[in-house]
Chain A
């Protein structure tokens, strides 16, 4: 059975293009033009991943994300324009899995959906504890980090930061989520911690720290580990 994507988008042209290109990739495509329609579809139809446009006519997407998160780990990918930055981050913090900045290429959308789907059902699957890409191996269970076959030494905090990104499995982790997970809720605004630790990590994990291939910065949002 093919996977079902729910596209929540109020612009007909964009909806039609997404429907066509997702169908071409073998997805079952459901569409909704409003949050209320999306909510109704989620109640009655099987959906494997949601692509949610921001700025829908009937209100705030955060409500829908919170509603979904109350009952499931259904992947949600946010599609937003630049000026909706704040709303986008709020939704990611509320539990959305990832985001796309409009305008986006279909390839980007498919990549995000693939990453999001890998996570489907993590509630029952074992958590992701291993990252292996481009010569960098991070094994959380063994507490081991290797670059090009050589073991690297990370400080405990550095390791915690990396672990957070590994568990996200390619999805973006917001500044807020990282700060809370690694340092605790009282450090929620200390973004400079992240800047400093990320610089140290890039120096250790990347071949060319100024052009990272693994630790990807999502400007203004957070970080992710590149998986493709």
Chain B
């Protein structure tokens, strides 16, 4: 051996030497004590016992040394001619050779036994480690946890640098803090979905093993472990076993993730189809009325009394306006839900917004039922005038639709909030429905009563939300419904000089 012995090895060699000397000395002493009492053959047996004992305890070198030493001592002290190393009889020579053979055989057997014992120990340790790893992985909730636990497990067995990365669709996830050559190896390993490195037949020249996590087509990562020795099949198997556990854990997490995404997508799809159903109902109803009225005018005009013609024309205009409002609400709701469009938040006067909405609604049938009470000196609010106008308009529109009596709009300040309430004396919203009236597709008990409530309130809620405002519905003491929008009042802008 070119390598110098380590201190541990030197100490071991010293202990072995002492063992050999002690065994031979003991054998010699026993033989000497019994010299003349027992035959030469029996003395050989004593030496043989010493050799067997030494061979069992020591390694192969020690066993050979003890056999050679025992034969030499036996020859020197007891085989005639005594005190020489000359061998007189061929018989004695055979005894010597036999003793050497026995020593070697025993040493070999005992070494094998020891190796197997050690291997059993090691495999028991590995099995325990794998069990612990599996248990640890069960508790892991994120892929990063799995990778961390995996790195620790690999580092317990492999002293060289250990790398472990996740991979998706044949691409290594994160290559930060990984040397380039290792990253290349990992990528290759993921691509080939096979163990690379010494003893694998693939890239045996490497000084590390690259182990993929998972089988071909579902490689979820790769590990790089060193040192790697072609002869250390057990080590490689251990690395592969760890890799299999990690692959399982990561696979489990990804499956859960995919399931979650799928159910979210399903839910979205469900919402979308409900949304579409609601919208198409809201669009189709006025369209049906328009087509009916228009075609009636087209085909039967001559037979229709003038009053009836006027009524049909008015219906067309009213339904088309309604259709336009529904379309506007739907588009706005979708726009707000998408969240892409930036809001135009400017200082707004609630009085102005209410004023222009009321002016528009006054022109409609029933518009004269609206009463407006706005407190003087209301603070300005930050908001998008078009959206806030749409909100107030929808609330008033609803109130007009669902009640026959007066509709009140009240705006006043209450501490840090500006309250805008729309109150009617209609049938009211049932307790159970109150929480749900703002859901996009909810039509509550009002189905059939009148049409097109569909998205209006949902849009109101969405608009309130983007303004950091609350919108609640409550029952009025003596019947009817009150919707209250509470807008936050911010620090007012520096007022322009009142000149």
Tell me the residues in window 170-215 of chain A with beta carbons closer than 8 Å to chain B beta carbons.
183, 190-193, 195-200, 202-203, 209-212
Residues of A within 8 A of B354 (CB): 210
How many residue-residue contacts, CB under 8 A, span A and B?
83
Q: State the CA gap A155–B498 with chains docked (Å).
A: 8
CB <8 Å contact, A198 and B352: yes
Q: Taking the complex as formed, is A85 at the interface, i.e. its CB lies under 8 A from any CB of chain B?
A: yes
CB <8 Å contact, B496 and A82: no
CB <8 Å contact, B496 and A216: no
CB <8 Å contact, A199 and B349: yes
Residues of A within 8 A of B332 (CB): 82
Q: Taking the complex as formed, is B456 at the interface, i.e. its CB lies under 8 A from any CB of chain A?
A: no
How many residues belonging to B are interface residues under a CB distance threshold of 8 Å? Answer: 38
Q: State the CA gap A83–B341 with chains docked (Å).
A: 11
CB <8 Å contact, A195 and B348: yes
Residues of A within 8 A of B373 (CB): 210
CB <8 Å contact, A220 and B385: yes
Residues of A within 8 A of B346 (CB): 191-192
**Cβ of A79 to closest chain B Cβ, rounded Å:** 14
A-binding segment of B45-53, B123-131, B212-220, B355-363: B355-363
Q: Taking the complex as formed, is B428 at the interface, i.e. its CB lies under 8 A from any CB of chain A?
A: no
CB contact under 8 A between A155 and B499, given known A191-B347, A217-B355: yes
Tell me the residues in window 318-336 of chain B with beta carbons closer than 8 Å to chain A beta carbons.
320-321, 324, 328, 331-332, 335
**Cβ of A23 to closest chain B Cβ, rounded Å:** 20
Residues of A within 8 A of B499 (CB): 155-157
CB <8 Å contact, B372 and A219: no
Residues of A within 8 A of B358 (CB): 210-211
CB <8 Å contact, B359 and A211: yes
Residues of B within 8 A of A219 (CB): 352-353, 356-357, 385-386, 389
Tell me the residues in window 299-342 of chain B with beta carbons closer than 8 Å to chain A beta carbons.
317, 320-321, 324, 328, 331-332, 335
Residue of B whose beta carbon sits closest to that of A190: B496
Tell me the residues in window 82-132 of chain A with beta carbons closer than 8 Å to chain B beta carbons.
82-83, 85, 103, 105
Q: State the CA gap A192–B351 with chains docked (Å).
A: 13
CB contact under 8 A between A210 and B374, given known A199-B349, A220-B385: yes
CB <8 Å contact, B331 and A83: yes
Q: B344 contacts which of A157, A211, A220 (Cβ < 8 Å)?
A: A220
How many residues belonging to A are interface residues under a CB distance threshold of 8 Å? Answer: 30
Tell me the residues in window 6-64 of chain A with beta carbons closer than 8 Å to chain B beta carbons.
none
Q: State the CA gap A104–B80 with chains docked (Å).
A: 136
From B320, B355, B359, residue with most partner A Cβ within 10 Å: B355
CB <8 Å contact, A103 and B352: no
Residue of A whose beta carbon sits closest to that of B348: A195
Residues of A within 8 A of B496 (CB): 157, 183, 190, 192-193, 196-197
CB contact under 8 A between A210 and B347, given known A192-B493, A193-B496: no
Residues of A within 8 A of B335 (CB): 83
Instruction: Tell me the B residues contacting A by CB distance below 8 Å.
Output: 317, 320-321, 324, 328, 331-332, 335, 344, 346-349, 351-359, 362, 372-374, 376, 380, 384-386, 389, 493, 495-499
Given A196-B349, A198-B349, A210-B358, 18 additional A-B pairs, CB 8 A: A82-B328, A83-B331, A83-B335, A103-B320, A155-B498, A157-B499, A191-B347, A192-B346, A192-B347, A192-B496, A195-B348, A195-B349, A199-B349, A202-B351, A217-B353, A219-B386, A220-B344, A220-B385
Instruction: Tell me the A residues contacting B by CB distance below 8 Å.
Output: 82-83, 85, 103, 105, 155-157, 183, 190-193, 195-200, 202-203, 209-212, 216-220
In the complex, 30 of the A-B residue pairs with CB atoms within 8 angstroms, ordered by the A residue number, are A82-B328, A82-B332, A85-B386, A103-B324, A155-B498, A157-B497, A191-B346, A192-B346, A192-B347, A192-B380, A192-B495, A193-B496, A195-B347, A195-B348, A198-B349, A199-B351, A200-B498, A203-B376, A209-B351, A210-B351, A210-B373, A211-B372, A212-B359, A216-B356, A217-B352, A217-B355, A218-B356, A219-B386, A220-B344, A220-B386
